[in-house]
């Protein structure tokens, strides 16, 4: 058999036809596999609950164990491995062996990328398939279609963790692709402002762009706008807190405090807004007498959250209140901080 020239027809184009087994022939009934002695799975002498594998599953993996032991890397084994992955795409050992075969046969990596694309579309939340794709793209050193591919997967499920993780790897490994990522993320946030994965991606982009004060200020304004539209969106508030980590010497805290105070004074009682105001006060290390009113206000917010706006977490807010009192050595009837 000429392994180098024989066409590999199991390229993944028929991956979704797994259910069509009418014409399927077990490996043990194929004449071209008569030279291979299958190896049955050994579950040991004391099987508590025996798994009811199908005949097809047992047949494929019995033969896979045989070729794995012999080390055969051929076109027929590549077909066997394709069948094994159709039955169990989470089998890490099979993926490793497939990669060894692909390298040995010098399979066209673009065809292999098409194959793994089809597999991922069937099993979008499988770690092994994304890892295999990463390896193929690294070998190709060509990420030209990766952002479009992950965008298609995210269009199916905008919070697919594996797709986001893979997309971040692509952007990190091929940094030139980063320049349009904010536009991509903005589109997702515009479609669903509660998409915490998109907000996380926005932070990833900013964090990897070595942001200066102008960038952070622009991001603050962007976030303010989204919060004004939907003030109960926790994702935007978490992003706002993340931006404050770049606030050297607290230069942006006053800006955020002013924004939050305006919302509050207009009657907004979002729990995220009130929590942010508490955090801003708690972060202020000042113990000057003029800070007393700020602390009283933070304690009032804790009380309101515990009793009215977030009673399900009343013990948490009581704890925060006591923590603020201890931190500033403050009592409600004090006129100054001791």
What are the pLDDT digits (tens) for 144-179?
A: 999 999 999 999 999 999 999 999 999 999 999 999
Of the candidates 109, 179, 275, 211, the one whose C-alpha atom is nearest the C-alpha of residue 117 is 109
Structure tokens at 64: 């896979």
Whether 322 is catalytic: no
Q: Are 94 and 126 in contact (CB under 8 A)?
A: no
**Active-site entry in 125, 218, 262, 336:** 125
Look up residue 108 and give its two tokens.
Answer: 């066209």
Per-residue model confidence as pLDDT tens digits over 79-105:
999 999 999 999 999 999 999 999 999
Neighbour tally for 28: CB within 10 Å: 14
The model's confidence at residue 267, banded by pLDDT at 50, 70 and 90, is very high
Phi and psi based region of residue 336 (left: phi greater than 0; alpha: psi -120 to 50; beta: remaining) = beta
Binned at pLDDT 50, 70 and 90, residue 288 comes out as low
Residue 11 has pLDDT above 50, yes or no: no
Residue 144: Cβ within 10 Å count: 10
Signed CA dihedral, 198, 209, 183, 117: sign only: negative
The predicted structure's pLDDT at residue 8? 38
**How many residues does this entry show for the chain?**
338
pLDDT value for 131: 97
Q: Using an 8 Å Cβ cutoff, are 273 and 228 in contact?
A: no
* Cα radius of gyration rounded to whole Å, the chain: 29
Domain 18-107 has CATH 2.30.30: no
C-beta atoms surrounding 119 within 10 Å:
22
Q: Which of 307, 296, 247, 245 is nearest to 271 (CA)?
A: 307
Which of 330, 141, 158 lies closest to 235, judged by CA? 158
Portion of the chain with pLDDT greater than 70, in percent: 88
């Amino acid at each position: 058999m000429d392994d180098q020239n024989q066409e590999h027809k199991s390229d993944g184009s028929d991956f979704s036809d797994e259910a069509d087994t009418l014409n399927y022939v077990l490996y043990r009934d194929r004449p071209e596999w008569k030279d291979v002695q299958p190896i049955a799975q050994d579950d040991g002498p004391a099987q508590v609950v025996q798994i009811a594998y199908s005949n097809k599953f047992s047949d494929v993996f019995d033969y896979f164990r045989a070729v794995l032991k012999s080390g055969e890397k051929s076109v027929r084994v590549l077909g066997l491995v394709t069948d094994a992955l159709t039955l169990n795409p989470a089998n890490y050992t099979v993926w490793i062996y497939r990669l060894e075969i692909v390298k040995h046969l010098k399979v066209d990596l673009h065809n292999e990328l098409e194959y793994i694309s089809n597999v991922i579309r069937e099993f979008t939340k499988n770690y092994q398939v994304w890892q295999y794709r990463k390896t193929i793209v690294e070998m190709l050193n060509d990420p030209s279609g990766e952002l479009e591919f992950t965008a298609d997967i995210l269009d199916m499920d905008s919070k697919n963790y594996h797709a986001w993780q893979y997309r971040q790897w692509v952007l990190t490994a091929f940094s030139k692709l980063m320049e349009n990522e904010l536009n991509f993320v903005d589109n997702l946030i515009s479609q669903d402002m509660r998409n915490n994965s998109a907000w996380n991606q926005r932070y990833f982009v900013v964090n990897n762009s070595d942001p200066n004060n102008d960038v952070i200020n622009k991001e603050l304004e962007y976030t303010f706008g989204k919060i004004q539209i939907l003030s109960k969106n926790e994702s935007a508030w978490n992003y706002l807190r993340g931006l404050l980590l770049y606030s050297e010497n607290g230069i942006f805290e006053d800006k955020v405090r002013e924004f939050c105070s305006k919302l509050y004074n207009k009657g907004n009682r979002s729990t995220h807004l009130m929590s942010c105001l508490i955090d801003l006060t708690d972060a202020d290390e000042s113990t000057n007498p003029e800070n007393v009113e700020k602390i009283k206000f933070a304690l009032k917010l804790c009380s309101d959250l515990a009793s009215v706006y977030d009673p399900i977490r009343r013990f948490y807010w009581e704890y925060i209140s006591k923590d603020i009192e201890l931190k500033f050595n403050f009592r409600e009837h004090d006129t100054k901080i001791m």
